[in-house]
Chain A
Amino acid sequence: MSKDKMVPVPSNAIVPERDINKIPILETHHLGIDFGGLKAVDEFSITVGRTEISGLIGPNGAGKTTVFNLLTNVYQPTRGTILLDGKSTAKKSTAQINKMGIARTFQNIRLFSNMSVIDNVRVGLHNSTNQSLAASLTRLFGYKTSERKSLEEAMELLSFFHMDDMANRQAGSLPYGAQRRLEIARALATRPGIILLDEPAAGMNPSETAELMENIRRIRDNFNIAVMLIEHDMNLVMNICEGICVLDHGKVIAKGSPDEIRSNPKVIEAYLGKKKGGVEGGEE
Chain B
Amino acid sequence: MEKIKNMSKFTRTNIECYGMVLLAFVILLPLQNAGLISYSIAGQLVPICTYIVMAVSLNLTVGFLGELSLGHAGFMSVGAFSGVIAVACLKNTVAPDWTKLLVAIIVGGILAGVAGLIVGVPVIRLRGDYLAIVTLAFGEIIKNIINCLYVGVDKNGLHFSMTSADELGLVDASPVLKGPQGATGIPKISTFTSGVLLILFTLFVVLNLINSKTGRAVTAIRDNRIAAESVGINITRYKLTAFVISAILAGMAGALYAMNFSSIAARKFDFNTSILVLVFVVLGGMGNIPGTIVATTLLYMLPELLRQFADYRMLIYAVVLIVVMVATNSERIKLFADKIKARFSREEDITDAAGKGGGTK
Residues of A within 8 A of B (CB): 72, 74, 93-96, 98-99, 103-104, 106, 110-116, 118-120, 122-124, 126-127, 129, 131, 133, 135-139, 143, 146-147, 150-151, 155, 164-165, 167-170, 173, 186-187, 189-190
The listed residue with most B CB atoms (<10 A of its CB), out of A72, A133, A150, A187, is A133
Is B3 in contact with A170, judged by CB distance below 8 angstroms? no
Contact residue among A112, A165, A167, A170 (Cβ-Cβ distance under 8 Å from B227) = A112
Give the dominant DSSP class at B's interface.
Answer: helix
Q: A110-B224, A126-B216 are in contact. List 17 more A-B contacts (CB 8 A).
A: A104-B230, A111-B223, A112-B219, A113-B224, A115-B220, A123-B228, A124-B231, A126-B213, A127-B232, A131-B214, A137-B212, A146-B213, A147-B213, A168-B5, A169-B351, A170-B355, A186-B227
Asked whether, in the complex, the Cβ of A94 is within 8 Å of the Cβ of B213, the reply is no
CB-defined interface of B197-229 with A at 8 Å, one 1/0 digit per residue?
Answer: 000000001001100111111011011101111
Given A110-B227, A146-B213, A151-B3, CB of A137 within 8 Å of CB of B208: yes
Q: Whole-angstrom distance from the CB of B2 to the nearest CB of chain A?
A: 5
B45 to A: closest C-beta gap in Å? 27
CB-based nearest A residue for B234:
A95
Most buried by B among A118, A119, A123, A139: A123
CA of A99 to CA of B230, assembled, Å: 9
- Tell me whether B358 is interfacial, beta carbon within 8 Å: yes
Take A94-B229, A168-B351, A190-B232 as given contacts and tell me if A112 and B220 are in contact as well, using a CB distance cutoff of 8 Å.
yes
- The answer, among A98, A115, A120, A143, for a CB contact under 8 Å with B212, is A143
B235 adjacent to chain A (CB < 8 Å): yes
Partner of B231 from A74, A118, A186 at Cβ < 8 Å: A186
B9 to chain A, nearest CB (A): 8
Answer yes or no: B233 CB below 8 A from chain A CBs.
yes
Residues of A within 8 A of B214 (CB): 131, 133, 136-137
**7 tightest A-B contacts by CB?**
A136-B212, A98-B232, A112-B223, A110-B227, A136-B214, A131-B213, A123-B220
What residues on A are CB-neighbors of B92 within 8 Å?
none
Alpha-carbon distance A34/B216, docked complex (angstroms): 36
Query: When the two chains form their complex, are residues B208 and A136 in contact, meaning their CB atoms are under 8 A apart?
Result: yes
Which of the listed residues A137, A165, A186 has the most CB atoms from chain B within 10 Å of its own CB?
A137
Q: Which residues of A contact B9 (CB under 8 A)?
A: 168
Q: Per-residue CB proximity of B7-26 to A under 8 Å, as 1/0?
A: 00100000000000000000
Let me know if B354 is at the binding interface, CB within 8 A: yes
Q: Smallest CB–CB gap between A85 and chain B, Å?
A: 16
Determine which of B6, B229, B358 lies in contact with A170 in the assembled complex, contact meaning CB atoms within 8 Å: B358
Taking CB atoms, residues of chain A closer than 8 Å to B231 are: 98, 103, 123-124, 126, 186-187, 189-190
**Complex CA distance for A112 and B225, rounded to whole angstroms:** 9
A72 pairs with B230, CB closer than 8 A: yes
Check if B241 is an interface residue, CB within 8 A of chain A: yes
- Cβ–Cβ < 8 Å partners of A186 in chain B: 227, 231
Contact partners of B226 in chain A: CB under 8 A: 74, 106, 110
Is A173 a contact of B220 with CB atoms below 8 Å? no
**Distance between Cα atoms of A169 and B9 in the complex (Å):** 12
11 contacts between A and B (CB under 8 A): A110-B226, A111-B223, A114-B223, A115-B220, A115-B223, A116-B355, A123-B217, A137-B212, A168-B6, A173-B354, A189-B231
Q: Are B223 and A113 in contact (CB under 8 A)?
A: yes
| B2 engages A167 (CB within 8 Å) | yes
> Residue of B at shortest CB range from A124?
B231
When distances are taken between beta carbons in the complex, the residues of chain B under 8 Å from A112 are: 219-220, 223-224, 227-228
Query: Cα distance A170–B357 when bound, in Å?
Result: 11
Q: How far is the CA of A165 from the CA of B2 in the complex (A)?
A: 8
User: When the two chains form their complex, are residues A126 and B227 in contact, meaning their CB atoms are under 8 A apart?
Assistant: no
Contact between B230 and A118 (Cβ–Cβ < 8 Å)? no
How near does chain A come to B218, taking the closest CB pair, in angstroms?
Answer: 10
Nearest-Cβ distance from residue B302 to partner chain A, whole angstroms: 30
Q: Report B245 CB to chain A, min CB distance, Å.
A: 8
Docked complex Cα distance between A116 and B349 (Å):
14
Closest partner residue, chain A, to B9 (CB atom): A168
